[in-house]
Amino acid sequence: MAVNFRSSAGEAPPAFELKAAGFTLPVIRLLNGDMEALAEQIGVKVEQAPDFFRHTPVVIDLGGFPEGGAVEFPLLVGLLRGYGMIPFGVRGGTKTQNAAAEAMELAILGDAYLRPGKAAPASEPAPETPRRGLPTFTLVTRPVRSGQEIYAAGGDLSVVASVSSGAEVAADGNIHIYGCLRGRALAGNRGNADARIFCQDLQAELVSVAGHYRISENIPADLRGVPVQVFLDQKVLRIEKI
């Protein structure tokens, strides 16, 4: 069903229409709150079929979750995004669980929104864009391995592990890395000059804030292997010890 918004005489033609449409979305049925086990098992699945999960919207099904149990949505959302998925919504939760999901700006869905079958092609889902309201926060708890790229759209990124050489982490806001940074880190990805990178152990291939960058060869030796912050000062990229 489509609803056209028609203009009055002399006005511009309608610029959009609303349609009722159904999409096939993968469902992750959460059975318990063990985030460490979940991260390990999802990692195995992603390694087996990385293209299936890349940029794929997913629905979190709480129908099998222990009744009354608390879901660590910030950790769960960060974990899924860290593996390239786009958490879209939640179904089957209690009022308390749904309220926690809404705080992370996840949709609350019923079965009517989902259709059984294979996942839709990667070209069909709309790309993730920064959402209005509360800023987003992405948390990654596993090491970011060589070749992996993680992007926190519209908010900050925290990595409570190391970032390997050949890996890249990026965010529209700040980046916090609580392990060793050996790969690339790009904060303020959409021009936010106030963004910063905080790192416990700087051994980076490249650091960048709002497009201003330094490569490994241009990072002084006394700033390598120590906790630092990276920021812009009058459009000059600076690295200082914390």
Q: How confident is the model at residue 126 (pLDDT cuts 50, 70, 90)?
A: very low
19 contact partners, CB below 8 Å, separation of at least 6: 1, 2, 3
pLDDT at residue 201 is higher than 70: yes
Q: Which domains does the chain have, with CATH numbers?
A: 27-113 (3.30.70.260), 136-241 (2.160.20.70)
Average pLDDT over the chain reads 80
Which CA distances in Å does 64 have to 41, 55, 60, 123, 233? 17, 25, 11, 30, 51
The average pLDDT across 66-71 equals 84
In three-state secondary structure terms, 128 is coil
In three-state secondary structure terms, 161 is coil
Distance in angstroms (rounded) separating the CA atoms of residues 81 and 193? 24
pLDDT at residue 38 is higher than 70: yes
Q: Of residues 51 and 90, which shows the higher confidence score?
A: 90
Question: H or E segment at 2?
Answer: strand 2-4
User: Do residues 188 and 154 touch, judged by C-beta distance below 8 A?
Assistant: no
Per-residue tokens: 36: 């460490």
Predicted local distance difference test score (pLDDT) of residue 117: 35
pLDDT at residue 5 is higher than 80: no
% residues pLDDT > 70 (the chain): 80
The average pLDDT across 119-134 equals 38
Predicted local distance difference test score (pLDDT) of residue 131: 41
Distance in angstroms (rounded) separating the CA atoms of residues 93 and 77? 16
Q: At 107, which amino acid appears? A: A
- Convert the pLDDT of each residue in 8-27 to its tens digit: 555 678 877 766 554 556 78
The average pLDDT across 75-81 equals 87
The average pLDDT across 49-60 equals 78
Cα dihedral 9, 15, 18, 21 in deg (nearest 10): 140
- Convert the pLDDT of each residue in 174-199 to its tens digit: 999 999 999 999 999 888 999 999 99
Least confident of 25-34, 99-108, 111-120: 111-120
Q: How confident is the model at residue 120 (pLDDT cuts 50, 70, 90)?
A: very low
Backbone angles phi, psi at 148, to 5 degrees: -80, 145
Q: How confident is the model at residue 78 (pLDDT cuts 50, 70, 90)?
A: confident
Question: H or E segment at 132?
Answer: none
According to DSSP, residue 179 is labeled E
Q: How confident is the model at residue 79 (pLDDT cuts 50, 70, 90)?
A: confident
Cα dihedral 145, 207, 181, 148 in deg (nearest 10): -10
Does the CA dihedral 109-20-56-210 come out positive or negative?
negative
